[in-house]
Structure 1
Amino acid sequence: MPSITDTVTTPDGTCSVTLATPEGSGPWPGVVMYPDAGGPRPAFTAMAQKLADDGFAVLVPDIYYRNAPWTPFDLNTAFSDPEERKRVMSFMGSVTPDKMTSDAEAFFDYLAARPEVSGEKFGTTGYCMGGRTSLVVAGRVPDRVAAAMSFHGGGLASDDPGSPHLLADKIQAAVYVAGAENDASFTAEAAETLDKALTAAGVEHTIVFYPAAHGFAVTDHKAVYDEAAAARHWNAMNDFFGAHLT
């Protein structure tokens, strides 16, 4: 079916969301798909529907709803334009781990109440800053997340006190992380730190690097979108969520 638009009430207000499902009546396992720094936009509506067509109910939230109304970002130019870079960095910084947590609890409650959605545990996936959010949520709302994925996510194992690797001992989900080669936001050293933390905590996990640039999976990020890497990521999501969500 086509994606629907709806709203979710959170402790901080009203968050616009889209929900994509397969054809039929379901129910299907639920997944929250966190967008990159550009926020929700047509590319993510289409990406959510593509994942939905594999048998999942996929929710994409407006991660910047606290700034509404806001003008959409074009990631092909946002970081090269000084004023847009300042705005996007401000927006990114406003999405703190505490806000990720309270939002996620509301998103999961919304999915649990939908007739199209099965189960009480869900998947999370995300891109760029959304990849970090996916893992933060897995550590901060562990009883609601069965599978957490991150694609070209940054800041997954850093000196920041909110770094996801510090939550490893809280995570109950299986974890899949796909980094981009030569990505300063997630280096081989950071991957090793994350791997050690997850291993010590007994978390089932996979950490891989795709031979592509940061942003490889997002269709409208034209300078870095990589068709082969994107296809690999779709296969990984289908397999990983298929194995861990019921």
Structure 2
Amino acid sequence: MPTIEDTITTADGACAVTLSTPDGDGPWPGVVMYPDAGGTRQTFRDMAQQLADLGYAVLVPDVYYRDQGWAPFDMATVFTDEGERKRLFGMISKVTPDIMAADAAAFFDYLESRPEVSGTAFGTTGYCMGGRTSLVVAGRVPERVAAAMSFHGGGLASDDPGSPHLLADQITATVYVGAAENDASFTEENGETLDKALTAAGVEHTIEFYSAGHGFAVPDNGPYDAAAATRHWAAMERVFGATLG
């Protein structure tokens, strides 16, 4: 079924989104897919449709909508081009936990209003910075999140006061983390910290380290790894299938 383009009104403006659904009449459980630092682009429209084909209505938001008319990044060069790297990190810094939570509430309200979508609790999944957002939202808007997934997400258990692991006692969702190997943004020590926090809070969770680099699940990322990407699709099918129905 074709992906539709729409906008969601938030307290800060109009957020462009896409909504992808399977073929058929529905309704289907809703999932918010948070992009990596490169933001929404064709790769994520394709990934949203791939997840939709598993039986979900998948929303991909433009998390940088406050930077109106922002120019897309070239993922092959953004981290080596000093000017583009500075622009990217400047935009990332504006997406704070408070903003993540406020935007998520608007996204969930939108999903709940759509005839294609069933239920009042949803899934979240995300990549890189989107993986962190997925867990932050699970802790900040817990009543709306049934399952939260993160793939090669960074900053999940850091010294930052906004670190998701500090929200563990607020999370009611099932949590799955698919981490990258040799990733300075989420090390095995960080994984242990997150595991202890989630365990102490009684959160059902899985943390797995994939034998692939940061960016393994996103096709236009240099470290994309087909085997690891296949494994991540299987994890989403399993976790969302068990939690969203």
TM-score, length-scaled by structure 2 = 0.99
Residues 163-215 of structure 1 deviation map (CA, whole Å, 9 limit, x = unaligned): 00000000000000010000000000000000000000000000000000000
Q: 1:50-199, aligned counterparts within 5 Å?
A: 50-199=50-199
Distance between the aligned counterparts of 1:17 and 1:95, measured in 2?
16
1:98 deviates by 0.4
Look up the match of 1:245. 244
For 1:233, the aligned partner's letter is H
Look up the match of 1:226. 225
SS in 1 for 2:216: coil
Q: Which runs of 5+ in 2 are unaligned?
A: none
SS in 2 for 1:65: coil
1:74 deviates by 1.4
Residues 5-54 of structure 1 deviation map (CA, whole Å, 9 limit, x = unaligned): 00001111100000000001100000000000000000000000000000
Distance between the aligned counterparts of 1:45 and 1:68, measured in 2?
20
For 2:10, the aligned partner's letter is T
1:117 deviates by 0.3
1:76 deviates by 1.3
Distance between the aligned counterparts of 1:71 and 1:185, measured in 2?
26
- For the aligned residues, what is the CA RMSD? 0.4
Distance between the aligned counterparts of 1:39 and 1:175, measured in 2?
23
For 2:71, the aligned partner's letter is T
SS in 2 for 1:67: coil
Any runs of at least 4 consecutive aligned residues in structure 1 with deviations exceeding 2 A, and if so which? Answer: none
Q: Percent identity?
A: 73
Distance between the aligned counterparts of 1:215 and 1:63, measured in 2?
18
1:2 deviates by 1.1
Distance between the aligned counterparts of 2:179 and 2:83, measured in 1?
28
Look up the match of 2:217. 217
1:243 deviates by 0.4
Distance between the aligned counterparts of 1:71 and 1:137, measured in 2?
26
Distance between the aligned counterparts of 2:54 and 2:13, measured in 1?
32
For 2:18, the aligned partner's letter is T
